[in-house]
C-alpha cells in the first residue's frame, strides 16, 4: 500500500518517517514553512535512539492526477482542520475510475471523536485510530518523538464498529515500522477513553505543567458524567495502563523531556487555532444534549479560544481568570 500522510506534524511526521524507514511508499502533505523545509531538507525525526532525516516526497495537496488504487489516506491534522482536509481530497480521481471518497480508505489518526462522523459523510471506508504517540512539532522540518521503546501505540478499527482486512494490513505495516498496533472491533471505545485523557490538554496549554489537581479532576469528572448520561462506553485508566504497560513510555531526546501536548504546541507555535472545541467541546455538547452541567470544560473552551485570539503564550493564561470562568 501507498500512504499519503495528510498533516505531517508531530503524529503524522513520526508515522510517515517510520513507515518510510520500513520501506513503505510514503508521501507527506504539509503547508507553509513546514512544507518548504520538507522539500528543501527533508523531515528530521529526533528520537531517544538518535536522529534520522528522511527525504520523502512532500506536497501541498492533490495535483490533479489519479491516485493509485492501493493508496491509503492517513489524516493526522488537528480536528478543527478535518473538514477542510476531507473536502480537499474526497473528489480526487483514482486509477481505474471513481474517487477517493468512493474507493480509498481514510485512516483517522487524530484526537477527538468528531472526525469519524465527519469523514463518513464523504468517505465510504473510514478507519479510526486511537493515538498514543508522544511527539512534538514546533520547528519547520523537525519532529521530536519521545516514545520508548516503541514510538507509539495505535489502536485501529473500522467506523462505526468492527475491523477488516484494511485495518489488519495497515496495522501490519505500522508494526513493521516499530509501532504497537492492535486491531480493535471496539476502537471507538478506546477513542472515548483517550478523549477523557485529552480533556487536560487545554489546561496544560493554558497553565503549563503545574495544573491544579482539583481542576484537572473536575474537568475529567464532567467528561465521565457526560459520557455516562449519553450511554457511551469508554476504556478506564486501569485498562489503558495495563495495555500500554512498559511498551510506550517517555524518554528524553537530547536531554530534553517533551515540552507539552498537542494543544500546548498549537499555542506555542501561534498556529491560529486549537482543538479544545473538539475535545472539551465534545463534552460540553454531550452535556447540553443530556442535561449534564459541564462548566469547567466550557471554561477551558472559552479560555483556549481567547488565548489563540490574543496570542497568549502557552502556559501564560492567568489561573485566577480561568477559575473565574469555571465559577
Tell whether the torsion through CA atoms of 123, 3, 68 and 54 is positive or negative. positive
Please give the average per-residue pLDDT across 172-193, as a whole number.
98
pLDDT tens digits, 241-250: 999 999 999 9
CA angle 88, 126, 169 (to 5 degrees): 110
- DSSP β-ladder status, 71-75 and 142-145: unpaired
Full DSSP string of 213-271:
HHHHHHHHHHHHHHHHHHT-----HHHHHHHHTTTEEE--BTTB-----HHHHHHHHT-
Q: Is the pLDDT of residue 273 over 90?
A: yes
What is the reported pTM? 0.97
pLDDT value for 173: 98
pLDDT value for 116: 98
Please give the average per-residue pLDDT across 165-191, as a whole number.
98
Beta bridge partners of 229: none
List, as own/partner pairs, every contact residues 208-215 make where C-beta atoms lie below 8 angstroms and the sequence separation is at least 24, other chains included: 208/260, 208/314, 208/315, 208/316, 209/260, 209/315, 212/319, 215/296, 215/322, 215/323, 215/326
pLDDT value for 124: 98
| Helices 213-230 and 295-310: angle between axes, nearest 10 degrees | 120
pLDDT value for 37: 98
Tell whether the torsion through CA atoms of 49, 54, 56 and 61 is positive or negative. positive
Residue 276 pLDDT level (bands cut at 50, 70, 90): very high
Cell triple for residue 271? 498556529
Please give the average per-residue pLDDT across 142-162, as a whole number.
98
Report the C-alpha gap between 266 and 270 in whole angstroms: 6
Site of grid cell 480493535: 184
pLDDT tens digits, 26-74: 999 999 999 999 999 999 999 999 999 999 999 999 999 999 999 999 9
pLDDT value for 300: 98
Cβ-count burial of 187 within 10 angstroms (0-12 exposed, 13-18 middle, 19+ buried)? buried
Please give the average per-residue pLDDT across 312-318, as a whole number.
97
- DSSP β-ladder status, 58-59 and 71-75: unpaired
Please give the average per-residue pLDDT across 233-260, as a whole number.
95
Is residue 294 within 8 Å of residue 240, measured between CB atoms?
Answer: no
Count other Cβ atoms within 10 Å, centred on residue 203.
27
Residue 12 pLDDT level (bands cut at 50, 70, 90): very high
Q: What is the 3-state secondary structure (H, E, C) of 113-182?
A: CCHHHHHHCCCCEEEEEEEECCEEEEECCEEEECEEECCCEEEECCCCCCCCHHHHHHHHHHHHCCCECC
Q: Is the pLDDT of residue 259 over 90?
A: no
Amino acid at each position: 500500500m501507498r500512504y499519503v500522510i495528510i498533516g505531517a506534524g508531530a503524529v503524522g511526521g513520526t508515522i510517515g518517517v517510520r513507515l518510510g524507514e520500513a520501506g513503505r511508499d510514503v508521501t507527506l502533505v504539509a503547508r507553509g514553512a513546514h512544507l518548504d523545509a520538507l522539500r528543501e531538507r527533508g523531515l528530521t525525526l529526533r528520537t531517544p535512539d538518535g536522529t534520522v532525516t528522511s527525504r520523502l516526497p512532500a506536497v501541498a495537496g492533490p495535483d490533479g492526477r489519479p491516485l493509485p488504487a492501493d493508496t491509503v489516506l492517513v489524516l493526522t491534522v488537528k480536528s478543527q482542520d478535518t473538514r477542510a482536509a476531507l473536502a480537499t481530497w474526497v473528489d480526487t480521481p483514482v486509477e481505474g475510475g471513481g474517487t477517493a471518497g468512493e474507493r480509498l480508505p481514510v485512516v483517522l489518526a487524530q484526537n477527538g471523536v468528531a472526525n469519524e462522523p465527519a469523514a463518513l459523510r464523504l468517505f465510504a471506508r473510514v478507519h479510526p485510530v486511537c493515538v498514543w504517540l508522544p511527539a512534538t512539532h514546533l520547528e519547520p522540518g523537525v519532529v521530536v518523538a519521545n516514545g520508548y521503546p516503541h514510538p507509539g501505540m495505535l489502536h485501529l478499527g473500522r467506523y462505526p464498529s468492527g475491523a477488516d482486512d484494511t485495518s489488519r494490513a495497515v496495522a501490519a505495516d505500522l508494526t513493521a515500522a516499530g509501532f504497537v498496533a492492535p486491531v480493535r472491533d471496539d476502537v471507538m471505545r478506546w477513542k472515548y477513553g483517550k478523549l477523557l485523557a485529552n480533556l487536560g490538554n487545554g489546561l496544560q496549554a493554558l497553565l503549563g505543567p503545574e495544573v491544579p489537581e482539583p481542576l484537572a479532576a473536575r474537568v475529567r469528572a464532567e467528561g465521565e458524567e457526560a459520557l455516562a448520561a449519553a450511554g457511551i462506553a469508554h476504556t478506564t485508566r486501569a485498562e489503558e495502563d495495563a495495555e500500554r504497560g512498559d511498551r510506550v513510555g517517555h524518554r528524553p531526546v537530547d536531554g530534553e523531556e517533551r515540552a507539552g501536548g498537542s494543544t500546548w504546541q498549537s499555542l506555542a507555535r501561534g498556529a491560529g487555532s486549537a482543538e479544545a472545541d473538539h475535545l472539551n467541546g465534545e463534552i460540553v455538547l454531550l452535556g447540553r444534549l443530556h442535561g449534564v452541567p459541564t462548566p469547567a470544560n466550557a471554561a477551558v473552551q472559552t479560555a483556549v479560544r481567547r488565548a489563540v485570539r490574543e496570542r497568549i503564550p502557552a502556559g501564560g493564561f492567568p489561573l485566577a481568570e480561568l477559575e473565574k470562568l469555571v465559577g
